[in-house]
Amino acid sequence: MSVFYARLRMVFDNYTLIIIGVILAATFVPAQGSGAVFFKWLTNAAIALLFFLHGAKLSRHAIIAGALHWRLHLLIFAFTFIFFPILMVMLTPVLKPLLGDELWVGMLYLAALPGTVQSAIAFTSMARGNIPAAVCAASASSLVGILVTPMLVELMLDADAGTTGMLDAVLKISLQLLFPFLLGHYMRRWIGNFVDNNRKWLLYVDQSSILLVVYTAFSSAVVGGLWTTVPPTALVILTLVCSAILAVVLFVTTWTSRAMGFNKEDEITIVFCGSKKSMATGVPMAQVLFAGGAVGPAILPLMIFHQIQLMVCAVMAQHYARREEQPEVAAAL
């Protein structure tokens, strides 16, 4: 058993294994009836707390310092909110019959999401990239995505895709996500030191919120017949599709940043911030944008894409770090 677990750890980190366990729990013991009502209430409260803490973590100094590098931020935003959606819409004639309607909706939703915060910054730091710019770009992407993502979803999806109306979605997201975020940022003057000194504890709040949403969403989807409509072969195809799309985006972000004359540090920031999609934002937002059993299939592509991007970008970060050291070694010789 320990050997099997060790082999799993070579592919997945602990948190991903926990998410898989939560999905299995929702599959065999889904929340139903009053239990589903309780978990939905608990999930909404956890999401509000999550975005309150995200707001409290973001300093105004980081916003001002990072915003000065406007060319880099515009390019990252273009990849996140323009290139990704256009690419996915162009691939719709292939993806829709290949994946089926429910997973195709999930792929379009994936394309509309903002970039990650924690992992984008961590990989940029590991690769010796422009860390202040990464902090600003990732944080701004997460904040802007609260308003932009529902608009993109409305543009790309038909009314019968299981989404709420755009105005209704924006109002719900503003109340559930944006308001706690702004309140947390306003409260930073009083709780900022506590938040900065307890980031490890806050990480547990972040991860627990996602686990709650995953369990609630998949419980609803399982009760609605998720695994009868998504066979194992579809999951394999979905994994291959996500891998191919990530490869395309990584190639285009790398080529464009070099063609536009950015230095290596900025290139690293553009690649890691412009190619990643946020599960921390996407999973809670799906709870608002999609109705009932549509949430599970909508976040399934995101969860697979998220794991692939972590594994691939970890290798890329190490590669970037080695390339950065080469000139120094040569100079020493």
Task: Report the distance separating Cα 139 and Cα 58, nearest Å.
Answer: 7
Q: How confident is the model at residue 160 (pLDDT cuts 50, 70, 90)?
A: very low
Could you read off the pLDDT of 263-307 as tens digits, one per residue? 999 999 999 999 999 887 888 888 788 876 677 888 899 988 987
Q: Is pLDDT larger for residue 209 or for residue 323?
A: 209
In this predicted structure, the answer to whether residue 171 has a pLDDT above a threshold of 80 is no
Could you read off the pLDDT of 73-127 as tens digits, one per residue? 999 999 999 999 999 999 999 999 999 888 999 999 999 999 987 678 778 888 8
Average pLDDT in the 236-247 region? Answer: 95
The full set of domains in the chain, from first to last, is 48-322 (1.20.1530.20)
Can you give the pLDDT at residue 329? 41
Q: How confident is the model at residue 20 (pLDDT cuts 50, 70, 90)?
A: confident
Distances (CA, A) of 53 to 46, 121, 178: 11, 17, 12
